[in-house]
Amino acid sequence: MKLSVVIVVYNMRRAAARTLLSLSARYQRGIRPEDYELIVVENGSSRPLDLDKVREVGENVRYFFVEDASPSPASAVNFGLREARGELVGVLIDGARIATPNLLQLAERASATHPRAVVCTTGWTLGRDPQNWAIARGYDEAKEDALLDEIRWPAEPYRLFDIATLDGSSSLLGPIAESNTLFMRRKLWDELGGMDERFDQPGGGFVNLDTLERALNLPGVEMVLLLGEASFHQVHGGISTNSLPHQLASDLEQWHIHYQNLRQQDWRLPKPKVTYYGTLSESYRSHLIEWGNQQTLARVKFLREELEVLQAKADAAARRIQELESARPELEQLQTQALAAARRIRELEDANSERTALWRWARRLPKRMGVQLRGLL
C-alpha cells in the first residue's frame, strides 16, 4: 500500500463526517481507494462516531476506539502510526479539518521529489475572521454550515479558500509553525519516534509544533510545502482553535512553559529551506495576490511614514533658514560693527606700541646725553 492517513477524532461527529468525506476516494482526485487507507483513531470520545456512517466512507477505512485514552492526542497518533501499512504516512492530529481534493495525490508525488521529504500544508480556519475572534462574536456551527452551503461545498471544493482565514500558525509561503496534514515516509516517522507522549496536556499543547520542529531537524531532510492544498478547521469546541482569545493567551503561556520544561529551551519558529510543490486554484491565487497587495500596502505605509518624518525635518530646517534670513541684516550690522571695533583695537594697539617704544627710547636718552631729566618722564 502506498499511503496511510491517520486521523484522530474526539467528540466531533459533525466535523469528522466532513473530514472523512474530504479524504474519501469519491472526493480525492488522482488516487485510487486501493492505493491508500484511512486510519480513524477515536481517542476515548464520550460521543463516538456512528460506525455505519464511517463504513459509508469506503472500504479503505479502518476504525479504532482507544479505551482509557490520554487527554492528549499524541498517544492516539502513535497508535495510528503503528497500525499504518503505507510507505508514506500522513497525520491529522485534529480530525475536524476538511481537506482539499488533490491533497493525497500531491502529497504522494511531492514525497517522491526527495528521499527524506517532510511534506506539509498550510492550515486555515473556516470563517472570514480568525476563528477564536469570530466565536467570541457569535460564530457557531449554524453559521459555518451556512457558509459551506454558500460555496456549494463539496461540489466546489476549492471555494473553501473564499470563506476561510489563514491559521495563525501558518503563512502562505512559509515558514509555518505546524502542519495539520503532515506526511513523511514510515522510516522518517520511525526515526522521529512519532509524537512525544510527554506532551500529555488536553489537546497536546505544543506537541504538533514540536513534531514538525523535530522532523525538520532530522539530518538531510527537505521541507516540501504544498501550494494550493490545505486543511480547513471546523468549529467543534477544540482546545486551542476554538478557545476564546483571553483563554488561548493563557493556554499558550502554559503550553510554552511545559515545552521549556521538556526541551530545556524556548520554542522557536522553524525556518528551513522550503521547496514548493503543487498547483494554484483561482481562489488560492486570489489569496496570494491579496497577500502580495497587503505586503505592498504595508511597505507603502512604512515609506509614507518615513517620508512624513523626513518632511517634518525638512520643514524644521526651512523654518530655521527663514529665521536666519530674517536675522541677516542685524547680523551684517553686527559684523560691520565688529570689524570697526577690530580696526579701532588694532589702531590702539599700534598707538600703544609706538608710545611704549618712545618711552623706552626716552629712558635711555639721559644716559646717552649724560644728563638727568627728572620730571620729564
Beta carbons of 232 and 98 less than 8 angstroms apart: yes
Which helix (H) or strand (E) is 184 found in, with range?
strand 182-185
- Identify whether 20 is part of a domain: yes
CA distance 115 to 349: 96
> What b/e string do you get for 339-377 counting C-beta neighbours within 10 Å, with b at 16 or more?
eeeeeeeeeeeeeeeeeeeeeeeeeeeeeeeeeeeeeee
CA atoms within 13 A on the CB side of 143: 15
In a domain? residue 59: yes
Q: At what angle do helices 282-326 and 328-369 cross, to 10 degrees?
A: 40
The CATH number of residue 13's host domain is 3.90.550.10
Which residue intervals of the chain are DSSP H helices? 13-22, 51-57, 74-83, 103-111, 131-136, 141-150, 186-192, 207-216, 245-263, 282-326, 328-369
Is the CB of residue 123 less than 8 Å from the CB of residue 230? yes
Inter-CA distances, 285 with 49, 155, 159, 280, 282, Å: 36, 19, 11, 6, 5
Q: How far apart are CA 229 and CA 158, in angstroms?
A: 9
Structural domains in the chain (count): 1
Model confidence pTM above 0.85: no
Domain interval for residue 242: 3-279
Residues 6 or more apart whose Cβ sits within 8 Å of residue 87: 1, 2, 3, 185, 186
Q: Is 37 exposed, middle or buried (0-12, 13-18, 19+ CB in 10 A)?
A: buried
- Please calculate the CA angle 322-324-326 and round it to the nearest 5 degrees: 70
Query: Burial, 314: exposed, middle or buried (Cβ in 10 Å; 0-12, 13-18, 19+)?
Result: exposed
Give the integer Cα–Cα distance in Å for 104 and 118. Answer: 14
Q: Which cell is 319 given?
A: 523654518
253-266 as b/e, with b when 16 or more CB fall inside 10 Å? eebeebbeeeeeee
Does a structural domain hold residue 157? yes
- Taking only the tens of pLDDT, the chain with its 377 residues reads 799 999 999 999 999 999 999 999 999 999 999 999 999 999 999 999 999 999 999 999 999 999 989 999 999 999 999 999 999 999 999 999 999 999 999 999 999 999 999 999 999 999 988 888 888 889 999 999 999 999 999 999 999 999 999 998 998 888 899 999 999 999 999 999 999 999 999 999 999 999 999 999 999 999 999 999 999 999 987 555 555 666 777 888 999 999 999 999 999 999 999 999 998 888 888 877 886 776 565 554 555 666 577 677 878 877 888 887 888 888 788 788 878 877 888 877 777 776 676 666 666 656 655 555 455 44
Dump pLDDT digits (tens) for 350-368: 777 766 766 666 666 566 5
Domain annotation covers residue 159:
yes
Residue 201 inside a domain? The answer is: yes
The reply to whether 234 falls in a domain is: yes
328 within domain boundaries: no
Task: Determine the 3-state secondary structure of 191 from DSSP.
Answer: helix
> Is 346 within the bounds of a domain?
no
